[in-house]
Structure formats: C-alpha cells, structure tokens
C-alpha cells in the first residue's frame, strides 16, 4: 500500500530534520514524503536538499497561497494531498517524530480491519489512528476505540492528533479535507466529519512523539477563540465538548495575560459542565496578576498529572 505523507512547515528548520528522518526511516518504505513550505526566509530548502532520498519532495508555496490567519496549516495540508497520489495519506507536523513501525503497523491494521465474517468489511474503515506520547511526559488518558467511533470523537474521548492519522484518500476527499476556516482543532473537526461515514481502527501503542515547539498556533488566543465559535456553528456538540473548547479558549487568553478576555469563556464553560481546571483558571483570573496566574495554573497542572499517574 503506497502512502503519501504530507509535512507542512513554517519557519521550523531547527526541528524539521528529525521529523523528516522519522518518516524516511519507516519500516514500511513504500511511501512518498512531500514537505510543504509556507515560510520564506529560513533554511528549510537547504535542510530538505541535504537528504539523499528520491522519495522526498519539496514545494514552496506561492506567496498568495501561504499561511494566513484564516487558513492556518490546513491549507498547506490540503495542497499537499492534492500534489500526491497515494492510496492512503498521512500527516506529520514538523516538530513531531514517528516510531519506526508507525506506518507498517497502521497499514497492516487497515488491511486487517473488518476481517470478521459477520462484521463490517474492511472497505468501511477509512482511518487508523494511535495514541501519542508528549515530550513533557504527560500521560495518555483517552481511550483507544475502533469501529463506529462517532460519539467517542464527538465527546473528545479518543485522540485525534493529526500526526497519528492514516486516512484512505477516498475518505479524505469525500469529506473535503481539512476545514481551512479553522486555525485550531482542525484535526478533531476532520475526524468528526470522517467518523460520520467511516469506521476507525486504533493501534493501541504510542507511535508518535508529539513536539512542544514554541510558536504553536494553538497558543494564539484570538485564533483559538475564532475556531471554537466556528466549531459551534458547524457541529452539534454535547455540553461536555463545548465546555472543554470554551475552557481551552479562556485559559489561553489568560495565559497570554489577557485575563479579562478569558473570563467570559471560562464562565460559559462552567455553565455547561463543571471542569476543575476551568474553575481554577476563573478563580485565578479574578484574584491574580498574569504572572501569578501562570504560576497557579502550573501548580494545578502538576497536581493533575500526579493524580493521572497514580490512576
């Protein structure tokens, strides 16, 4: 099975090499890797050209097509898929790394999905995903579900991180690819649309090491808030998911020092579903300075990780 891998990048030459190596070093080597460059003034072209591998291609987007606040990384990923022709497509972010067996295990899982005589056929499976490991050691807490996972995706109960996905091209094109109006949560939105019509298979092993590179677009509170409101417009979401999205928006505003702008989102979140982190963030935003807010939330996250580890 020929796999097209799309790697979008934007001024990430300092970390890009590890991501490229992790793709070209896959034990499933029937693949192509397309690096889609949205940047204009770093060493990305030189870094890519240093790899002597004819499976690797590079494209720098025209200035008119480069990333803007509305398209985010989604436009680059969609263009990458259009420029490739594999039966299945996969994505890797420039600060992530794949386990050497990621594609081999996921391709095998896709081929074997639906093998049971009385179950759905393998053609009904459009996506294979896997858990992630974060470089900061954050434990994985979401389930690994297979089959009809629409409700699990809708409630954010399963991981939908882009770099873990292996998607049939037919399925990707059927749902229209990534929503270019989203600057954040575009991976979850894609999986939610895919899960309406396609079954998912999960490989329950951490096959992706998730980066924590500074400058992640999800740290931009305005972009994140716009994406949340967009998701509310296009999806019928349960209160639990809406509360989580609102809490993320509110906390991100507060972490940027914009406490007054974050409070309404936190209040909306708590009105839908009680979330301890949102309650702590709201209390800190009312009684603390931006610096004290960061310190207080750091303590909250530390306790959360400790409790999760014990669980």
Residue 311: the pLDDT is: 47
Token pair listed for 191: 């999986």
User: pLDDT tens digits, residue range 34-44?
Assistant: 999 987 678 99
**CA 99: distance to chain centroid?**
17
Domain locations in the chain as residue ranges:
3-210, 238-310
Q: Which residues are CB-neighbours of 51 under 8 A, at least 6 positions away?
A: 20, 24
Cα 156 to Cα 131: distance, rounded to the nearest angstrom: 13
Residue 204 contacts residue 159 (beta carbons within 8 Å): no
Q: Which residues are CB-neighbours of 81 under 8 A, at least 6 positions away?
A: 4, 6, 89, 169, 172, 173, 177
User: pLDDT tens digits, residue range 275-291?
Assistant: 888 888 888 888 878 88
Over 80: is that where the pLDDT of 303 sits? no
User: pLDDT tens digits, residue range 246-279?
Assistant: 999 999 999 999 999 999 999 999 999 888 888 8
| Mean pLDDT (whole number) for 107-125 | 78
Report the candidate in 216, 203, 218 with the shortest Cα–Cα distance to residue 98.
203
DSSP state of 143: -
Cα 288 to Cα 254: distance, rounded to the nearest angstrom: 10
Cα 67 to Cα 74: distance, rounded to the nearest angstrom: 9
Cα 241 to Cα 68: distance, rounded to the nearest angstrom: 27
User: pLDDT tens digits, residue range 191-244?
Assistant: 999 999 999 999 999 899 988 654 455 678 999 999 999 999 999 999 999 999
Selected from 3.20.20.70, 3.20.20.80, 3.30.70.890, 3.90.550.10, the CATH number assigned to the domain covering 3-210 reads: 3.90.550.10
Cα 179 to Cα 183: distance, rounded to the nearest angstrom: 9
| Mean pLDDT (whole number) for 69-98 | 90
Cα 241 to Cα 299: distance, rounded to the nearest angstrom: 24
Mean pLDDT is lowest, of 12-26, 198-212, 294-308, for: 294-308
Pairing of strands 199-202, 125-129: parallel
Q: Which residues are CB-neighbours of 24 under 8 A, at least 6 positions away?
A: 33, 51, 53, 55, 56
């Amino acid at each position: 099975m020929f796999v097209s891998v799309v790697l979008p990048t934007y001024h990430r030459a300092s970390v890009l090499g590890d991501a490229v190596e992790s793709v070209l070093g896959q034990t499933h080597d029937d693949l192509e890797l397309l690096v889609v460059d949205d940047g204009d003034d770093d060493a990305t072209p030189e870094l890519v050209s240093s790899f002597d591998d004819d499976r690797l291609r590079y494209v720098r987007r025209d200035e008119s097509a480069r990333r803007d606040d509305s398209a985010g990384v989604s436009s680059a990923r969609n263009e990458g898929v259009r420029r490739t022709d594999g039966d299945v497509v996969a994505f890797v972010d420039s600060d992530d790394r794949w386990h050497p067996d990621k594609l081999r295990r996921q391709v095998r899982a896709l081929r074997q999905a639906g093998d049971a005589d009385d179950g759905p056929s393998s053609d009904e499976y459009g996506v294979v995903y896997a858990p992630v490991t974060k470089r900061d050691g954050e434990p994985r807490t979401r389930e690994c579900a297979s089959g009809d996972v629409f409700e699990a995706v809708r409630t954010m109960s399963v991981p939908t991180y882009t770099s873990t996905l292996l998607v049939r091209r037919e399925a990707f094109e059927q749902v229209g690819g990534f929503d270019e109006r989203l600057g954040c949560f575009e991976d979850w939105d894609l999986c939610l649309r895919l899960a309406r019509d396609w079954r998912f298979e999960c490989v329950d092993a951490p096959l992706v090491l998730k980066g924590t590179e500074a400058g992640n677009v999800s740290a931009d509170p305005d972009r994140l808030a716009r994406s949340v409101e967009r998701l509310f417009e296009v999806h019928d979401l349960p209160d639990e998911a809406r509360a989580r999205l609102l809490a993320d928006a509110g906390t991100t505003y507060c972490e940027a020092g914009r406490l007054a702008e974050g409070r309404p989102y936190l209040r909306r979140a708590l009105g839908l579903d009680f979330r301890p982190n949102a309650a702590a963030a709201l209390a800190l935003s009312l009684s603390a300075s931006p610096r004290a807010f960061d310190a207080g939330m750091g303590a909250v996250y530390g306790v959360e990780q400790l409790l999760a580890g014990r669980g």
